[in-house]
A and B are shown apart, each in its own frame.
Chain A
Amino acid sequence: MKTIAYRFTILAALWMVSMAAYADEVVVIVHPSNALTEISVDDVKKIYLGKKKFFPGGSKVIPGDQPKGTQSRKFFYGGIIGKSETKLKSYWSRLIFTGKGAPPKVIGFDRIVKEWVARQPQAMGYIMRSEADDTVKILDLK
């Protein structure tokens, strides 16, 4: 029993370390005209969980999502937001079916999200760092 608990603890620690490392490979992006250069992890969480509707500073934010199964989504929700797909579904169901909120719009994969953010001044998205270029601005997470 002690061995099982020990192994479980090691596995959990490894999972958390790997998610934190992978989270570093996902970047939060906005339109190049956005005045922000950094944003707190807490604000990103609130924006993607529908608890915050404006960028720090006051303008309206429209978060864009990726479909289930993408690597970016897995790292973003596992490493930054901190919710499993099941918990996320349960969370949004409680808001949707009370009329109190709706999940971010699913835009598409990395390239589609990047193109959408580049066109939409109010947008926020997340993509793998390797997919980012100067058509979008990467926000530093603090």
Chain B
Amino acid sequence: MSRIGKYSIGPVCLVAASMVLPLTTVAGEIGDIQWHGYLTSAVMTSSDGNYSGDVSDAGGAKDTRMGLNISTQVDESLNFAAQLKAKGTEDFKMELDWAFASYDVSESTTLRFGKIKYPVGMYNEFIDVGYTYPWIRPPEGFYNQDAVGPNLTRVSYQGFGADFNTYSGDTELGFSLFGGVVDVPDGHVNQLVGVKLSANMEDEIRFELSANTGVMEVDNTFGRQMMMDGERHTTYTAGVIVDLTNFILSSEFGQAIMGRKIAGNRPMDTTSGYVMMGYRMGEYMPHITWEQWDVDGGWGQEVIGVGLRKELTTNSALKFEVRQVTPEVTPKPAGGVGLFSDVPTEKDVTIVGVAIEMVF
């Protein structure tokens, strides 16, 4: 990563590239190259405590991020795509988000190889592209990767994916198989394998079921994470999105079962879920979300949030959000409670955020 002093030049490179590249691009035919990008500018503040490692009462703009996406059709069946990103939560370092080749075996079957976004969760594959969903942050009980307790989602994996699609009337049915290795801080998830079933009714109602399993390999020789070394964990998820002309509902539930037992139970087993409902009124969409994150060890949290999304143009939106986070009282082994890295003095913590989202 190129750096000048303490500043990362990643975002500068991305901005410069996004300004120059569209002038040279065409798309759609073999050999053509498509460039796209996304941009989020966001500020958030909490009434108390340090939330999720990057939101405090001092405020911050760490949800600010941008990405640049390239894809090209090599021949009638072979496609290559890659995405670079720079995020405030990762010190704006530019990195390769994903890059893979996909091969259309037939109209209904596609194979992928490379570094691929984790396909578990209905928003995870495009989780950095805020324009595609109502919230500033998708429900964190489901999508956050907390240091203590298992995460239901992971960023990207290196391996393969196979997608099979068919139609039953107007309903598109999908079956996906994926497997490989995930690099996580201080370790890896090996022997990863998962399946996903989906049904899509004219993009108005979408269902998804998934299951995946993997074995943790921890490089540390100390601490709580060491307990997971060599342990197999399994994750199940179920989700639905109803997206009608005005009404939108989104709900997902998941369970992660960790291999390690302590004193007769598995303190890091997780159940999480959320329900969001919104209603579009012209350019405005108010929405409300309830989410729950339960950990057997007792350090989960409950969140209720309301937000407003306003379409600015056909490719940009303004978002405003207020959430009340109520962490459970049992502190995490590593300190803190819920997604707080310390124990807040307030029982209910308010988090306020505003964001502008854009795709181009």
Which residues of A line the B interface, CB within 8 A? 42, 49, 51-54, 60, 62-64, 68, 85-86, 89-91, 93-94, 96-100, 102-105
Check A85 against B26 for contact (C-beta < 8 Å): no
B203 touches A91 (CB 8 A): yes
**When the two chains form the complex, which single residue of A52, A93, A99, A105 contacts B359, counting CB atoms closer than 8 Å?**
A93
Q: Which residues on the B side are within 8 Å of A100 (C-beta)?
A: 102
Closest residue of chain B to A52 (Cβ to Cβ) is B107
The one of B27, B126, B172 in contact with A94, judged by C-beta atoms closer than 8 angstroms, is B126
Q: Is the interface of B mostly helix, strand, loop or mixed?
A: strand
Please name all residues of chain B whose beta carbon is closer than 8 Å to the beta carbon of A51 when the two chains form the complex: 165, 172
A96 touches B36 (CB 8 A): yes
Q: What is the interface of chain A mostly: helix, strand, loop, or mixed?
A: mixed
Q: Is B29 in contact with chain A by the CB < 8 A criterion?
A: yes
Taking CB as reference atom, which chain B residue is nearest A82?
A: B202
Q: How far is the CA of A55 from the CA of B273 in the complex (A)?
A: 42
3 tightest CB-CB pairs across the interface, nearest first? A105-B28, A99-B81, A98-B125
User: Does B28 contact A102, Cβ atoms closer than 8 Å?
Assistant: yes
**A53 in contact with B29 given A86-B311, A89-B359, A99-B83 (CB within 8 Å):** no
Chain A hits for B170, CB < 8 A: 42
Which residues of the other chain, A, contact B67 by a CB distance below 8 angstroms? 97
CB-based contact B131/A104 at 8 Å: no
Known: A86-B314, A94-B125, A104-B28. 11 other contacts (CB 8 A): A42-B170, A90-B132, A93-B129, A93-B131, A96-B359, A97-B67, A97-B69, A97-B83, A97-B129, A99-B71, A102-B28
Whether B34 is near chain A, meaning CB under 8 Å from some CB there, is yes
* Interface set of B (CB-CB < 8 Å, partner A): 26-29, 32, 34, 36, 38, 67, 69, 71, 76, 79, 81-83, 98, 100, 102, 104, 107, 117, 125-126, 128-129, 131-132, 165, 170, 172, 203, 311, 314-315, 359
Q: With A and B bound together, what is the CA distance between A94 and B38 in angstroms?
A: 11
A60, B36: Cβ atoms closer than 8 Å: no
Q: Are B27 and A60 in contact (CB under 8 A)?
A: no
Of the candidates B28, B32, B132, the one whose C-beta lies within 8 Å of that of A97 is: B132
Please, how many angstroms separate the alpha-carbon atoms of A96 and B98 in the complex? Answer: 12
A97, B314: Cβ atoms under 8 Å?
A: no
Known pairs A64-B28, A89-B314, A94-B132; A99 contacts B34 (CB<8 A): no
A20 CB, nearest partner CB in chain B, Å? 16
Shortest beta-carbon distance from A61 to chain B in Å: 11
Assess the A60–B132 pair: CB atoms within 8 A.
Answer: no
Please determine whether B26 and A93 come into contact, CB atoms closer than 8 angstroms: no
Q: Which B residues lie within 8 Å of A64 (CB)?
A: 28
A97-B100 in contact given A54-B107, A60-B76, A91-B203 (Cβ < 8 Å): no
- Smallest CB-CB separation from A120: which chain B residue? B29
- B125 cross-chain contacts in A, Cβ below 8 A: 94, 97-98
Residues of B within 8 A of A85 (CB): 314
CA distance A53 to B359 in the complex (A): 25
Residues of A within 8 A of B76 (CB): 60
Q: In the docked arrangement, what's the CA distance between A104 and B78, Å? A: 17
Q: Which residue on A lies nearest to B28, using beta carbons?
A: A105
C-alpha spacing A93/B316, complex, angstroms: 12
B117 touches A98 (CB 8 A): yes
Chain B residues with Cβ under 8 A from A93's Cβ? Answer: 38, 126, 129, 131-132, 359
